[in-house]
Structure formats: C-alpha cells, structure tokens
Amino acid sequence: MREELRAAVYDVAVRPVRKEDAAKLAEELTEDMRAEDAAEEALFGQDPYDDVKESIERSAECWEARRDGTLLCVYGIVQGKKNLVWMLAAEAVKGSRKALVAVGYDFIRKSVMKYGPLTNWISAENTKAVRYIRGTDRIPGLKTELFREQWNGEELVHFEIRREPCAE
C-alpha cells in the first residue's frame, strides 16, 4: 500500500507483471534500455531481451513502473539459495529518479522482510546503480554490505541487503 501511495505522489504507475507478458515487456524494455544496463548485460555476456524475459519468468514477483504510459523500469525477486533482487531500466527513467528511489526502496524493504537477505552483482562502472544500492543502507531496519570483486578482468560490486540485527 505504501508503495502505491508513494508512486501516486510522483505520478508513477506501479503494477505487477504477469509472466505471460514477459516477451512483450522484454521487447519494450530492450528497445529503450538505459545505456548503463545494456553495457552491464554485455559485460555478463547476456542478450538483453533474453535476460529480461527470463528474469520476469523466474521472478517470484515482478513489477513495472510507468509514467504517462511510458515504461521506466522492470524489477523483481528471483528466489533461490540466494534471493536475487534485480532492476533494469529504460532511458525514460532518467527524469524519474525520486519516484524510483521511493518506490524501489519500499519494494526492497518489503522484499527483505518477506524473502530474507537479497543479493546481486553490479558493474562497478554502473555508478548510478551502485549509488542506489548503497542508499538502501539508510532504509530503517536494513543493513547493506558492498564487496568489490573481480570477474573476467572487470570490477564488480557484490551487494547483500538484510535485516539489521537488533541492538541489545
């Protein structure tokens, strides 16, 4: 509910994504994918269309955000031994930073409470995404740790977001 309220304040429509819409949504996103996300897809050797489609299909829950009908981003949680949180954005997201921070941080907080610790890897060159994840450490009740790692000669930022241990 809080997520919808924040979205309304920023005039962003957030709705769940149905798995049967994965192909159509993957096509729409990859036609206007944010350059930093496209570069990250290439770094990991992934075809952007296939990765978006598979991420949607594998997600326990997946959401899209739009402003005036224009796709801003798609994000979700893939459950597994480690729960992966992911977001891929369109170039149109650039004018909606405050909205996406508000909506995204609510989603991350609720997802940590529902699924447990969340993790993923980001290219160290994707500075906006790294800054966004670093900011999750300011969400009350959450603790975010970032680790620098090398992969195929590239620097990655591995992050883990979990509940803050209770102070004793």
**pLDDT tens-digit profile of 13-66?**
999 999 999 999 999 999 999 999 999 988 888 899 999 999 999 999 999 999
Instruction: Give the dihedral sign, CA 142/137/119/54.
Output: positive
Cβ pair 13, 65 in contact under 8 A = yes
Those residues whose C-beta lies under 8 Å from the C-beta of residue 87, and which sit 6 or more positions away, are 73, 74, 75, 104, 129
**Residue that the structure tokens 């829950």 belong to:** 61
**pLDDT tens-digit profile of 76-87?**
999 999 999 999
Task: State the pTM of this model.
Answer: 0.89
The contacts found for 21-29 with CB under 8 angstroms, 24 or more apart, are 21/56, 22/52, 22/53, 22/56, 22/57, 23/53, 25/52, 25/56, 25/64, 25/71, 25/74, 26/50, 26/52, 26/53, 26/56, 28/71, 29/71, 29/73, 29/74, 29/88, 29/90
Task: Kindly state the helix (H) or strand (E) to which residue 9 belongs, with its residue range.
Answer: helix 2-9
Please, what is the average pLDDT of the chain? 90
Cβ pair 119, 80 in contact under 8 A = no
What is the CA 64 to chain-centroid distance, rounded?
10
- For 2-163, the fitting CATH number among 3.40.50.920, 2.40.50.140, 3.10.100.10, 3.40.630.30 is 3.40.630.30
Residue 8 pLDDT > 60: no
Residue 133 pLDDT > 70: yes
Confidence of residue 1 (pLDDT cuts 50, 70, 90): very low
Cβ pair 107, 118 in contact under 8 A = no
- Domain residue limits, the chain: 2-163
